[in-house]
Amino acid sequence: MCSIIGVVGENVKSDIINMLHTLKHRGPDGCGVYSRGKIYLNNDILDCEDSSFIIAHNLLSIVGCDELQPFMSENLVLVSNAEIYNYKELISKYDFDLSSNSDCEVILKLIEHNYHDNLKEAILKSIDLLDGDYAFCVSDGKDYVVVRDNVGVKPLYYGSNCDKFAFASEQKALQKIGINDIYNLNPRFMMYNGDVIQIRDCYKRCDFYNDYDVAKEKLKNAIVRSVRKRVQDLDEVALLFSGGVDSTLIALILKKLGIKTTLYSVGVETSQDLKYAKKIAHDIDIPLTIQIINQEIIEKSFYPTVNTIEDTNLMKIGVGMTIKLTSHLAHMDNHKVILSGQGADELFAGYNRYKKKYTNHDLLNEELTHDLNNIYDVNLERDDKATMSNSVELRVPFLDKDVIDVASHMPIDYLLDSCDDKIRKHILRDVAYELGLSKEAAYRPKKAAQYGTGIDKIIKKKIIKKQQYNKILQ
């Protein structure tokens, strides 16, 4: 939805202004700054008082108006990059009176409700009640806390040098003010006055369901609820679409919910993803927009992708380029929200490497658990930055807390059937089939995005052989 920024040090106004400008792509619809008890919006931010603690916000407006941040109450100030899916329930339960149309203000109201002169305790009570994806900073004038959602859907980085400490939604904002020793905040931790302290346990997998049909029905209901939450208040939505079971299942649910949806795909002319995306889009009768890409487009996109995802890992470049190019198509059609099937592979054993440990379920559960707990670092931050480079917000239904809870309690045999399993994710495929996907499409093996689009092959065989590209890769 936005970017958040904060700097602690002496006379940090100029740093804040530079960081806001650097992350304007994440929030082109407005900006705000808090300093010395006052809020300054848009052009007035240049008039803000300098101080030793300033927080700021860039706005990408999705719905409504009057959404500019920071938000202030009598004791607290907040900047947030968030989508709170249960905000209406929280407003009703606590009878909150909002001054804006933003779901983010509910975060402030909830913390204020739980605040009794101890900011840390108020935050811990409040985040247990939030259902959504978020990264936010809140201060009571004495202390400040920075925290993100359980999975890490919304990115958050921090770092320091000899004279300042800062945090931001992307690394490039920190680098802009001379901070190069940068860390991403583990979602199991919060930052309290610059100290990083653990507040949550890691996710753990364990067998719970002993009836396949019960587990399948639980999963089906959780996924449908998750998609519904992520499109509430929206008239239309975009979907990153590869023709695989993950994105197709989301497309089917969106259609059943009556949400106007456009599918978006990219690939080389002969790519498997485009071939199946066209066929399945036709079969389920949802419009598809595609872009045929070639070596020239991939080469032209190489440096911009590296700059966007802030990583030189070859695999991440391939996936990041796919998402960056695809979300650009959605941006050109004026979409501000795009959904993806990210997270399904980690939850339902979709990667080919998982089947190698099928014979030892304990080891496989350990690997699945590790991958889920680290998905923020491996995938989510890359994907968020790729879509937000086009001012499009990414939402990931498979990483809903209820979907994770159901998936994490499934026996391995519900996901894989052998060490030579060529399709994997069996229970998810069964759900897609029951919801109306053809048998051929539901049970079709599929390659990862960078392979299915043909991007990885061109990068490896053509582009990285050129010195100017090869030298920047890890």
User: End-to-end distance of the chain based on CA atoms, in angstroms?
Assistant: 30
If we measure between CA atoms, which residue out of 1, 46, 45, 43 comes closest to residue 23? Answer: 1
Tokens standing for residue 357: 């440990």
Sign of CA dihedral 370, 373, 377, 381: positive
SS (H, E, C) the chain: CEEEEEEEECCCHHHHHHHHHHCHHHCECCEEEEECCEEEEHHHHHHCCCCCEEEEEEECCCCCCCCCCCEECCCCEEEEEEEECCHHHHHHHHCCCCCCCCCHHHHHHHHHHHCCCCHHHHHHHHHCCCCEEEEEEEECCCCEEEEECCCCCCCCEEEECCCEEEEECCHHHHHHCCCCCEEECCCCEEEECCEEEECCCCCCCCCCCCCHHHHHHHHHHHHHHHHHHHHCCCCEEEEECCCCHHHHHHHHHHHHCCCEEEEEEEECCCCHHHHHHHHHHHHHCCCEEEEECCHHHHHHHHHHHHHHHCCCCHHHHHHHHHHHHHHHHHHHCCCCEEECCCCHHHHHCCCHHHHHHCCCHHHHHHHHHHHHHCHHHHHHHHHHHHHHCCCCEEECHHHCHHHHHHHCCCCHHHCCCCCCCCCCCHHHHHHHHHCCCCHHHHCCCCCCHHHHCCHHHHHHHHHCCCHHHHCCCC
Which of 2, 48, 104, 137 is flagged as catalytic?
2
Q: Is 2 a catalytic residue?
A: yes
Residues known to be catalytic: 2
